[in-house]
């Protein structure tokens, strides 16, 4: 799975979780870039991404994600 395949699907996940159809994500996007992205919404976001890509993130992967690009990298390696 490539970044170009992942970003549109992940964008929809972000838009659903944050209830904002204007969100545009890039690999550099961080929690600081999205107003409602706090620790609680992060859990919701991870669960929604896992559901979308039919995978489970490992705890170390989740704690190591500093931006959307790192999430994309994990999905690209293991996602469906």
- Residue pLDDT, tens place only, 9-63: 999 999 999 999 999 999 999 999 999 999 899 999 999 999 999 999 999 999 8
Report pLDDT for 36.
92
> pTM of the entire structure?
0.92
Identify the CATH class of 3-78.
Answer: mainly alpha
Report pLDDT for 78.
83
Judged by phi (left if over 0) then psi (alpha if -120 to 50, else beta), residue 57 lies in beta
Confidence of residue 71 (pLDDT cuts 50, 70, 90): very high
Cβ of 54: how many Cβ atoms within 10 Å?
Answer: 9
Q: Where are the domains of the chain?
A: 3-78
Cβ of 56: how many Cβ atoms within 10 Å?
Answer: 11
- Distances from the Cα of 39 to the Cαs of 11, 15, 32, 54, in angstroms? 19, 17, 12, 22
């Amino acid at each position: 799975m490539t970044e170009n395949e992942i970003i549109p699907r992940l964008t929809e996940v972000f838009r659903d979780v944050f209830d904002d159809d204007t969100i545009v994500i890039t690999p550099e996007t961080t929690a600081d870039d999205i107003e409602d992205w706090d620790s609680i919404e992060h859990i919701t976001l991870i669960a929604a991404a896992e559901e979308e890509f039919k995978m489970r993130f490992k705890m170390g992967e989740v704690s190591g994600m500093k931006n959307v690009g790192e999430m994309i990298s994990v999905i690209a390696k293991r996602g469906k």
